[in-house]
Structure formats: structure tokens, C-alpha cells
Chains A and B, each alone.
Chain A
């Protein structure tokens, strides 16, 4: 165990303080990839909304992709207004997403 831990520390650079609160974003990626088999879409949306609010409350950047992903979940749930709001939020926080978000917005 110690050896393995030491090896990982040696091989990877400092992971001291994470840049983002990842919350359940990556679990949600898995849920979407597996077609929301064991996950209720609306519960998932609630959980991610709270995560996004947490980032705002702490004045921290949400992890890249979170707003876009959440916007798409809203779209799947039939809520275009909320989808639009999150696609625009992704673009505002990360201008790197502009082309993609504009494309999604034009299809709403």
C-alpha cells in the first residue's frame, strides 16, 4: 500500500488542492452513457443544479462541461428554457465552448 501510494506520488504531479468541485458530474456522465438505467432523470437534474449553485455560492468556477451537461439533461426532460440558461452559462464561464453551445442553442 505504502509503495503504491509512493509510486503514484512520484509519478503524478502535485494534486494538493483540486481546481474544481467535481461533485457528481462524472457519475452523471456514466448515467447518461448508460441511458439512465438506474437513475431518475429529474433527481439527477436536481443534484446537478445544487452542485452548480454550490459553485456560484463559493464564487468558484464549476467544472468544465457541467453546465452544458446539465443543460442537455433539462432538454431531455423537456425544459428548453432551463436548457438554454445552462448552455449560456457554460459559454459565459468557458468561452472555449461557444461554437458548440451556439450550435445546441440553435437546435432548441
Chain B
């Protein structure tokens, strides 16, 4: 898998509340009840200090969603069409009503993404490239949120390297070549993959995935087992 290629990758998922005790399983009920076949990804809201994150981000989100078994509307084309229809910014695109999105695109669900962190920070001993994504998937027919998740991917220039001197030189060199070899696209791809496919709270395999039926059946069984054991 291409995402594993990087030699110094530290990956974190926002596994909120994970401790030594048992972790509450993610509630897939709403997703199971409104399983979408098609997902409209809107250009992301950008809360990072970087000026423009949408082009690179949008070039890393289709593949993880497609490989997860969903039809993904052509992201760049969707953005163009929305701009041409008087919506110049992601912020405005996120305010369009579900009815209107349904009329123009006809998706089963809309994915609203916010980019929280984006890009590289340079420190004394290392540079860190970080991408943090938060996402909400909304069912178009009911307006209900059917899934939500967040993920962070970090790549540090100096993971697994030698002494402090090496690290200092490493930071300098990294800073110099950063513009030529920007790791942000790769880190964005990793964040997208984690968001969509992490085993604790990622999206269930969708209708185009060969394991869709089986996964849905298992999740339903788990839910039934939990609700019957919770009954008095």
C-alpha cells in the first residue's frame, strides 16, 4: 500500500477517550439505517493558517472513499459547478440547503469536512507536517448526521534518526528543500485514509465493496446483541 512508503511517519488517530478500560463501540446505527451508495464531498472549510488547502486535499479524498465502496462525485467538477453558480468559497458551499444539493447533484449523503491543521511547522530539532481532518456525513433525505469522524496524520522529519547534530542538520536541510519536496500531499492522503478506514470508527464498507453485505450483517448482529444484553 502506497501510504506505508514513508520512512518516518508517525500516525495518530483521534481515538478520543481510549484508555485501558473497555472502549464504547462506535454507534453505526444511523449509518446502517441510511446507508448511502453515493457521497458528495464538498470543498473543505479551512481552519488552518494556510491560505489554500482545498486543491491538494480534494486530490486525496476520492480514493479512500471509493475504495471503501462508495460512489464519489467528481470533486473538482463539483467545485467548478458550484463556483460557476455564484458560490465562490467553501464556506458558502457548506451553507447550501440539502434540497438544492439534491436537485443539482442527487447524492444520497453529503460529506462536510473541516481542515483543522495543515502543513509543516519548523522547530529546532525537527519539522512536523500535520494534517487534521474533521468530517460529518449527512443523509440528504432526512438531514440526519449518519456518521462523523476525525483523524490526524503527522510526519516528522526526524523520526528514527541519529544524534542531535544530525537532527539539527536535518532540520536545516528539510527547511531548505521543503518547497521542492512538500510532504503535505502524502500526509493529507494518510489523514484521509485514516478518517475513512480506521477500524474503530471509520466508515463501514459501502455498497460497492465486496465485503459490504457481510460487514453490515455483523454490525447489525453486534447491535442486536448489545441491545438485548442491555435489556432488563
Contact = CB atoms under 8 A, between A and B. Distances in A.
B76 A69 contact: yes
Interface residues of A, number: 40
Contacts of B89: none
Contacts of A28: 76
B197 A15 contact: yes
Contact of A1 (B76, B160, B199): B160
Interface in B95-135: 102-108
Interface stretch (B61-69, B162-170, B174-182, B218-226): B61-69
Interface stretch (B9-17, B19-27, B142-150): B9-17
A30 B62 contact: no
A4 B11 contact: yes
A57 interface: no
Contacts of A8: 1, 3-4, 9, 11, 190, 194
30 contacts: A1-B8, A4-B4, A4-B11, A4-B159, A8-B1, A8-B11, A11-B198, A11-B200, A13-B197, A13-B202, A13-B205, A15-B1, A19-B69, A26-B60, A28-B76, A29-B76, A33-B59, A33-B79, A63-B62, A63-B63, A64-B66, A64-B72, A64-B73, A64-B208, A65-B62, A65-B72, A68-B73, A68-B77, A99-B105, A104-B81
Interface of A: 1, 4-5, 7-13, 15, 18-20, 22, 25-30, 32-34, 61, 63-66, 68-69, 72, 94, 96-100, 103-104
Nearest to B79: A33
A100 B104 CA distance: 6
A1 B7 contact: yes
Contacts of A94: 38, 71
Lowest 10 A-B CB distances belong to which pairs?
A99-B106, A33-B55, A65-B74, A96-B38, A30-B59, A32-B76, A4-B9, A96-B71, A68-B74, A12-B197
Q: Which of B13, B58, B77, B107 has the most CB of A within 10 A?
A: B77
Interface of B: 1, 3-4, 6-11, 13, 37-38, 54-56, 58-60, 62-63, 66-67, 69-77, 79-81, 102-108, 159-160, 190, 193-194, 197-200, 202, 205, 208-210
A99 B100 CA distance: 12
A5 B7 CA distance: 9
A105 to B, nearest CB: 13
A27 B189 CA distance: 12
Given A5-B4, A64-B62, A103-B104, 16 more contacts: A1-B7, A11-B11, A22-B66, A26-B62, A29-B58, A29-B62, A30-B59, A33-B54, A33-B55, A65-B62, A65-B73, A69-B74, A69-B77, A96-B38, A96-B107, A99-B104
